[in-house]
Structure 1
């Protein structure tokens, strides 16, 4: 496989030049994504050069486009967007032994310094020097060629498609959330929010052996999708419902108080409901980060010994997410609703932003669709 991706371009009569093609999606600021050519990266000894295949659009990508920041992470200079991704190994650093040219891989987009206490004890997602794709000031990977540490690239088994590999990123959030909440055989789980993260958390909870899963949302259509993905119960939340009535309804629907609750919205109201609805001695995991500060019923949680866990991305979860997809325990294909070529990036973001056509997960293809799939992809 050629790694320079040289293309013959006709500029005029008897004037044919060779041009590198590394089309890249760059966010310059609010409402300003531009497609431009960037140099193909030079790799270090521990890295691989990847010919990118699929990049999914995450809610954080849309948030940076619309608001230019998420909390303290501010887009202050042009930043390459994208972090839910898969690709094919095009070139190896001289110290790379776990991969070979031509391997199809899923790309875990964040890695730590490897030397701090957090990294050494396996909690690299808490590393203060964390490098995470498309989190200012770090560039992402919505481009045709991208370099990445080889040990954070996961070789795909033959039955896993490139699209599924890209969805391992949000799925890993669901795996980490369920692990933090302590979901296991027979767990009774309440999930707040039926967006993409809520849905992957639902599928993960079921795969981990949860006995009952209730998922809530304010949009009926999302709950219908959740039901098709295996939710035991769904609950439509309306704006005029009181906190007390919501807690009561959760208990009535499930037949008892859940022992695990996972808040995939992160708003004050959903975090409060997660705590108040969970049975004494249970666990609450808060995944979403909708606001910087919230007023929570801490005394209620203390006297009932509710364990509250923060969830920040994931760590050591990619292999488990890949195993669930490869085994068929989780079917993420149902989440992939739209496909666009990299040249249609602006249109893809519009679809993801406004939810056109019932969009859940919008996939951008850096190569012709199905080029690197073992069989035609059926969404």
Structure 2
């Protein structure tokens, strides 16, 4: 399919300044493919860039096409591309490393110092009609998976990577703080990998209801007047024991503290949410219990696992999708994600102008 001249793109110029504008249609390099973009999800980091101009240490300093949770259809091949063909539907892994440095060569390419990552300043994202990407970071979708599911492989891969970092195994007992999209995909991943009991916390009933639907054994609503000690005690009461693995999916200091304090002897705390640079944590507590504290930064070699989990039916991500918008309505989509009107979990934007609501 030959591209049209329409490459409408969602470009972030600054705080609360998101504009739709035409951009040139990119030309693929020899190792790249040109994609007709299909579905792009709104991530929490996208919202941070919109409302704050930054996410953690990453700061928007010039106009940037937003979006990185995406799927597309291959419409043009670079001359060296062998792993894909025209018409293939793919999930796009947004981080492309240099492939040459020590980190790439030792298998942790996501920590590459020269990593290109969609919609992380200064790199443009893919919320547009057309986008080029390195072919080896485009993962072909099985016939039984939809393009919407393909876009959700990005957040699911975060949950998969978090569970791999925790070495989740059959019988593990887990605490997850935060039932937003990342907390929920961590829940799905942990259950698929064998966790026997999971309690998940949040401040919103609607998110806890979704967590229960997705397989959480227990949910705990955090009230404003609850102390950390009360939360830890309630976690232990619900599980009937201390969790041996805790995941913080909020980045909120108090939640990280709860995870460290809740986790049992020789357990693991995995930090998934990106919060402020410095926190005050009960590390002596972790030291005495020999609790490992491990960080998570995106994913690495996790897309194939995520795709297999969904295609095999072990993980169902469809309930996460609550809202659909066209590319022309991107500003409305971001308003929904920003204000949480209508209780969104995952907001999807359909970039293909031929998309029709089902």
Deviation track 1:253-296 (CA, whole Å, cap 9, x = no partner) reads: 10000100000012111111101101110111000112111011
Shift of 1:355: 1.4
Query: Aligned-pair distance for 1:225?
Result: 0.9
> 33, 38, 42: which is aligned to 2:18?
33
Q: Which residue of 2 aligns with 1:71?
A: 56
Distance in structure 2 (CA, Å) of the matches to 1:297 and 1:316: 32
Counterpart check, 1:261 vs 2:221: no
Q: Calculate the TM-score normalised by the size of structure 2.
A: 0.98
Q: 1:46 aligned to 16, 31, 44, which one?
A: 31
Q: State whether residues 263 and 270 of structure 1, in contact with CA within 8 Å, keep that contact through their aligned partners in structure 2.
A: yes
Cα distance between partner residues in 1 of 2:87 and 2:232? 52
Deviations 1:108-145 (A, max 9, x none): 00021101111111111111111100000000000001
SS in 1 for 2:12: strand
Q: Does structure 2 conserve the Cα–Cα contact (< 8 Å) formed by 1:47 and 1:96?
A: yes
Report the TM-score when normalising by structure 1.
Answer: 0.93
Contact 2:56 2:274 in 1 (8 A): no
Q: 1:214 aligns with which of 185, 199, 202?
A: 199
Say if 2:93 is the partner of 1:114.
no
Which residue, 130, 138, 144 being the options, matches 1:159?
144
Aligned to 2:42: 57
Q: Which residue of 1 aligns with 2:132?
A: 147
The CA distance in 2 between the partners of 1:103 and 1:124, in whole Å, is 25
**Are 2:89 and 1:104 equivalent residues in the alignment?**
yes
For 1:36 and 1:200, the matched residues in 2 are separated by 33
Work out whether residues 182 and 260 of structure 1, in 8 Å CA contact, stay in contact via their aligned partners in 2: no
CA deviations on 1:144-194 (whole Å, 9 max, x unpaired) are 010000000001111100000000000000001111112111110100000
Deviation at 1:370, TM superposition (A): 5.4
1:324 aligns with 2:309: yes
Of 222, 227, 244, which aligns to 1:242? Answer: 227
2:71 aligned counterpart, secondary structure = strand
Aligned counterpart, 1:365: 350
Query: Can you list the C-alpha shifts for 1:22-42, whole angstroms capped at 9, x where unaligned?
Result: 111100111111111111101
Q: Structure 2: how far apart are the matches of 1:162 and 1:369?
A: 14
Moved more, 305-314 or 240-249: 240-249
CA root-mean-square deviation? 1.1
Change (3 A) 1:245 1:187: same
Select the residue among 109, 116, 119 that pairs with 1:134: 119
Structure 1 gaps, min length 5:
6-19
Structure 1 CA distance, aligned partners of 2:329 and 2:129? 14
In structure 1, C-alpha distance between the alignment counterparts of 2:203 and 2:264, rounded to whole Å: 23
SS at match of 2:187: helix
In structure 1, the residue matched to 2:236 is: 251
In the aligned structure 2, how far is the partner of 1:242 from the partner of 1:83? Answer: 37
Give distance in 2, aligned partners of 1:212 and 1:318: 25
1:281 pairs with 2:273: no
- C-alpha distance in 1 between matches for 2:214 and 2:300: 25
Structure 2 stretches lacking a partner, 5+ long: none
Secondary structure in structure 1 of the residue aligned to 2:152: helix
Contact 1:24 1:36 in 2 (8 A): yes
Matched, 1:229 2:233: no
* Ranges of 4+ aligned residues in structure 1 off by more than 4 Å: 368-371
SS in 2 for 1:154: strand
Moved more, 174-183 or 79-88: 174-183
Contact 2:326–2:350 (8 Å) recurs in 1? yes
Match of 2:119, SS state, is coil
